[in-house]
Amino acid sequence: MKHIISTTNAPAAIGPYSQAVEVNGTLYISGQVPIDPATAKVVEGGITEQTTQVMKNIEAILHEAGYSFADVVKSTCLLSDMANFKAMNEIYGKCYAENPPARAAFAVKELPLGVLVEIETVAVK
């Protein structure tokens, strides 16, 4: 059975999608961009600040669903420029210090709202 996950501690969906969906012990988190849920605006700064906010948003959704970073099995990182990979990876790596998930990282032509990074996540209990 499909269970929709929603929290005010992460940005509200800005389209026809859910923040996350849980099915049979697997949590699928929609791509998170660096929007501060308190202001509903993209955080100021560069890739470090944006990745930090993205990871906070992911953590809030994980927590709302009863998961943690330890339950994450797969991430897909979308970057506006691969030159930002190293800085993104430093922030990302702090959340997955042990037993990191599988991951793919891509440079894409453009991301929503002109952000530098978007990360989608899959977690399993």
**The domain spanning residue 110 has which CATH number?**
3.30.1330.40
Residue % of the chain over a pLDDT of 90: 97
Domain count of the fold of the chain? 1
CA 59 – CA 91 distance, rounded (Å): 13
- CA contacts within 13 A on the Cβ side of 93: 6
Average pLDDT of 81-85? 98
Average pLDDT of 69-87? 98
In sequence order, which residues have a C-beta less than 8 Å from that of residue 86 and are 6 or more positions away? none
Could you tell me the pTM of the whole model? Answer: 0.97
Please tell me the predicted confidence (pLDDT) of residue 14. 83
Q: How many CB atoms lie within 10 A of CB 82?
A: 11
Residue 61 burial by CB count (10 A; 0-12/13-18/19+): exposed, middle or buried?
A: buried
CA 52 – CA 117 distance, rounded (Å): 10
Q: Residue 52: which domain range?
A: 2-124
Is the dihedral angle over the CA atoms 89, 95, 100, 102 positive or is it negative? Answer: negative
Please tell me the predicted confidence (pLDDT) of residue 39. 96
- Span 13-57, pLDDT tens digits: 988 999 999 999 999 999 999 999 999 999 999 999 999 999 999
Average pLDDT of 63-68? 98
- Span 5-14, pLDDT tens digits: 999 999 999 8
